Structure 1
Amino acid sequence: MLVRSFCTVLVWATVAAEDVGYFWHVTDFHWDFSYWTDQLSCNGMNISQPGLFGNQWCDSPWRLVQETITGIKSLKSDVDFMLWTGDTVPHVANPFLSTALNEELVRNVTELMQNEFPDIPIYATFGNHDYYPSNLYPPHGNEIYNETYELWKKWINDTSQDQYFLKGGYYTVLARPGLRIVALNSNMYYTHDTVTLGMDDPSDQFAWLDAVLTDAAFNNEKVILTGHVPPGYSTPRAVRWMSEAFNKKMNSIVSRHSDVIVAMHFGHEHHDNFRLYYNTAGKAIVSLFIAPSVTPWRYQILSEKETPHNPGVRLIKYDRQTGKQLDIYQYFMDLETANKVGYVNWTLGYQATTLYGIPDVTAPSMETLVKKMSNINSQEFKAYVNWYNTNGVKDFPCDAKCHKVVMCGLRNLEEGPFNTCLTSPNIFKCPPADPGCSIVG
């Protein structure tokens, strides 16, 4: 079969008042090296006819990984940089993995990216599955940190970051004058990481982060914070990924340095969603965006089965001078159609400003969106839940209970406030004379 790759291409308009740039965000490839043989990632199911580009019970075949990287290059190759937020290794049990195998998987995807984007820096971070054994990232040097640094040091291009990467898998780079990338190994804070559980500051990353953000403010820099495991609550499942103490520390640092953080971009959840940090006056100060995964894999835990979703990739438009996040272009692959016709069409699913009727994707604009979404019948909330699964389920079910969990998660990133919100008769109180706000009961 002749396999072709067709991509939707936009005409990129230039905004005269701003120096506009773009960057890609890709996450959670979860390449299943056994897709065509043992199907180790496929939830124990026997998939008799796995699709060329994937199956919604399994992690990505190599073909999907390739079509993703070549596809985004065809969509827009002249980007300033790319964020790659980890989880290259599939959802496969540890007995079938090893340090050497995990390194090989990351190496192959790294080389593919380097070949397709030889002149574009890619700011990569680890996912919780990339370590062996999975989830158990140590707060000290080890082989995976060492080997991966050799793969990524060309992108980092700053020997002053050697010590931090080799110690804990984190680093910072100046992407352009005035804009800094801070790449975290947030997997050390994951609830499943029993190696770091109970520590005060694994690998001294919190102290380092606080210092980097302090220096950024002194140097008049803005910061994009990126990593894999995000703080806060994943909704509507109401799952907190970070251990409570680590979650609080992360949130405290972000809130304290909100004046320099223009946005946070993370992965891990496989779904399209966001959260907001608020100050004591109740105003949104930082946006945390979680991009959907490349892998179509969905979990099955006992009788609980996740709804299907499509592979996704994300393009972010920003102001090069200020770091201001201007828009999000969310692309998706209709996996069922791609497997049927034998070629991939990466399609623009939505442009955030158009879909939600907001001027940009800064924290104040996203706060305006949250107020609109407080009405369960609003077009904005319906659009949000419909794209939660990257258009895999076009009418994603979300009743009043689901709506409340989602709304509480958007505004409350810590356990106490989140649980209080869930039991409160009102999710939040509207300021006086604010017609854009609707109280949810």
Structure 2
Amino acid sequence: MRFATVLSTLLLLLGLSTALTIGDVTRNSIAAFANRQVARQELEKRSLVSDILTDIENLAECSACQALLVVLKVLAHLGNDEFVDVIVWVCQTLNVEDDDVCSGAIGLEGPILAHDLRQMTIGTKTSTLFCLTVFGLCQWPDVDTSYSPSMTPKPATERPASSGKTPLKVVHISDIHIDLDYTVGASWNCTKNICCRSYTPADEPGNNDTPAGTYGNVNCDTPLSLEESMYAAIDSLVPDRAFSIFTGDVVEGAVWMVTNDEVTNDLNTAYARMQTLGTTYAVTGNHDASPVNSFPPADVSTTISTQWAYDAMSAGWETWIGSAAAAEVSSNYGSYSVVDGSGLRIISLNTNFWYKQNFWMYDKKSWESDPSDMFAWLVAQLQTAETAGEMVWILGHMPMGASDAFHDASYYFDLIIQRFDATIAGVFYGHTHKDQFEIAYSDYTNQTFSTATMMSYIAPALTPTSGNPTFRVYDVDPVTFGILDVTVYYTNQTSPTYQTAPTWEFLYSVKDTYGSLLGITDPTAELTPAFWHNLTTLFETDDAVFQDYIGRKTREYDTAASCDETCKTAEICQLRAAQSQYN
């Protein structure tokens, strides 16, 4: 989730106490009408826009937002160009972002929002969710529990016990965000969310006092040198890996500049370089499209398509997954299912369909429970695996329990997880850029070690923007494919030798760090959902252990990070929430 965020500006402009949940430039620009007399003076020339200004100034509750949507709907019906022109003008006039960011981001995303508004029926679940996502107003609507993915009855089977055999090694990388325009010597202290580029003459090498180093900076996305350094480290530290997984986001975060051609080139070249890892199972990231987060379901009527991105990923992944699965990537919205040589079935699921910022989901007059029949497809793949006696890993980008996920979709996904919990050995994500996990429960009103049923492993990122560059290694039971240990390697970007040659080193392992505290020291013992629940219980009672965990979220980059009791309660709640409605 890396759209340019100016939440502090928004809160100042809006004067609202409600926490805003999304920070894209388009939303900020619409919101920035509020409490600005200069905007009123300029915009009174246009009665429609003046009405928008008045309505936004009155935004304090959900009903006011619904009223605003009526006016925005009128603006959208004037056409995409008119809608975009007005919002760009506001963005630039009120200095929400740099002029090029305003015109670029809104030019890309604005037509989708205008399309939504033209289709939307005000006062429905869809419009309520739109207000929630775009303005931070309205409460989450209740989950529609009347819908459920169609599944056969759950058999009386349980997850197999650990085999005790020599474990496999599997590497997990995520959110590499490669910036092909990264320029050594360009300023890392710029006015945009992604720096180390020659945006202006003042940013160019030799013209600034904050030159970017060879291997990246915390204000910048990943240079090729850092990516290649990680691959070399993986070859050195994990030469015996069975395979690797990559949970998405190839493309850098300058979202206002991305085009179809740029994303295609980024995907093509990144997957060519990634071949050095050997067999790698990849997923579709929310940044791996243009506009970012743009994943229209099958039945949306639009000329804007993401098919070209699916085709590029299909081509890039074919050497790893074979021609049949690669064809499925193209025809199945970036998702595929394949059986690894080890016997494990890998299901790569495009979870970005259910991301709040996928604005194509607001197209319908009534809410769509299963866009593009992706849940039905997932159930079919799991049923095939169950019938064949296969174990499964599900790979996705956005965690389905994250606050970014639509509550309904998260609930339906968890129903599937609970039904097939004897077949699914683990779920793996990226997106948050943090070192995290999520626990699923059979009963969310009674969260105990005995009701913990499934683990989601959320990998930290390579990009330096969110902490020290990192990758994970899993010790995996070769029969059950359960996770026996998680080891994290990192390179410290504050080291004095980092810009000369990054040193990749051991950061921690889960079993070394927490095992003895929870009575789990056997190297062949699985890190079960019960283990992870007991770890969250330990966090509640031992604050030192919890604060160490907080430091590891950024891979020890922010060593001064701390989390008070309110923060701690929220964090543990998030760790125990594979359904986003409980997050």
Matching residue of 1:258: 421
Offset at 1:340? Answer: 4.8
Distance 1:19 1:412 in 2: 32
Question: 5+ residue gaps in structure 2?
Answer: 1-161, 196-202, 299-305
Match of 1:104 in 2: 265
Shift, 1:42, TM fit:
5.2
The equivalent of 1:344 in structure 2 is 502
Aligned pairs for 1:287-326 within 5 A: 287-298=455-466, 309-326=467-484
CA–CA distance in structure 2, aligned partners of residues 211 and 338 of structure 1 = 52
Q: Residue deviations 1:4-23, cap 9 Å, x none?
A: xxxxxxxxxxx993131011
CA distance in 2 between counterparts of 1:399 and 1:296 reads 26
Q: Are the equivalent residues in 1 in contact too, given 2:247–2:285 (CA < 8 A)?
A: yes
TM-score using structure 1 length: 0.82
Structure 1 counterpart of 2:259, one-letter code: S
How far apart are residue 176 of structure 1 and its match? Answer: 3.4
| 1:213-232 mapped onto 2 (5 Å cutoff) | 213-232=382-401
In structure 1, the partner of 2:331 is 166
- Provide the residue aligned with 1:363 in structure 2: 529
Name the structure 2 match of 1:57: 219
Determine which structure has the larger helix proportion and give its number.
Answer: 2
Q: Give the corresponding residue for 1:386.
A: 551
Q: CA deviation at 1:414?
A: 3.3
1:133 is paired with a residue whose SS is coil
| 1:225 partner letter | I
Partner residue in 2 for 1:35? 182
> 1:44: Cα distance to partner?
6.3
Query: Corresponding residue for 1:23?
Result: 170
Unpaired runs of at least 5, structure 1: 1-14, 234-239, 299-308, 419-441
Structure number having the greater strand percentage: 1
Deviates more, 1:265-274 or 1:241-250: 241-250
The aligned runs of 1:408-423 (5 Å cut-off) are 408-418=573-583
| Mean CA deviation greater in 279-288 or 336-345 | 336-345
Change beyond 3 A, Cα 1:341–1:51: closer
Structure 2 residue 311 is matched with structure 1 residue 142: no
Q: Do the aligned partners of 1:42 and 1:58 also contact (CA within 8 Å) in 2?
A: no
- Secondary structure of the residue that 2:377 maps to in structure 1? helix
1:188 to 350, 353, 358: 353
- Larger RCO (alpha carbons 8 Å, 6+ apart): 1
Correspondence for 1:85 among 247, 251, 270 = 247
CA distance in 1, matches of 2:499, 2:580: 46
Q: Contact 2:268–2:312 at 8 Å: present in 1 too?
A: no
Question: Would the alpha carbon gap of residues 44 and 204 (structure 1) be closer, same or farther in structure 2, given more than 3 Å must change?
Answer: closer
- How many Å separate the matches in 2 of 1:170 and 1:259? 22
Contact 1:139 1:167 in 2 (8 A): no
- C-alpha distance in structure 2 between counterparts of 1:102 and 1:41, whole Å: 23
- Answer whether contact 2:176 2:461 (CA < 8 A) is retained: yes
Q: TM-score, normalised by structure 2?
A: 0.62
Measure how far apart 1:395 and its partner are: 3.9
Query: For residues 319 and 231 of structure 1, do their structure 2 counterparts lie closer, same or farther at Cα, with a shift above 3 Å needed?
Result: same
Q: Identity rate of aligned residues, in percent?
A: 27
Count of residues paired in the alignment: 383
Matched residues in 1 for 2:461 and 2:167: separation? Answer: 26
Task: Mark the CA change 1:113 to 1:93 in structure 2 (over 3 Å): closer, same or farther.
Answer: closer
1:125 aligns with 2:268: no
Decide whether the 8 Å contact of 2:492 with 2:498 is kept in 1. Answer: no
Q: Is the 8 A contact 2:251 2:263 kept in 1?
A: yes
- How many angstroms does 1:245 deviate by? 1.9
- Asked whether the equivalents of residues 149 and 166 of structure 1 are also in contact (C-alpha less than 8 Å), the reply is no
One-letter code of the match for 1:190?
Answer: Y
CA shift for structure 1 position 335: 0.8
CA RMSD of aligned residues (A): 2.3
Alignment partner, residue 5 of structure 1: none
Q: Is the 8 A contact 2:163 2:480 kept in 1?
A: no
SS at match of 2:495: helix
Cα distance, 1:416–1:30 mapped onto 2, change above 3 Å = closer
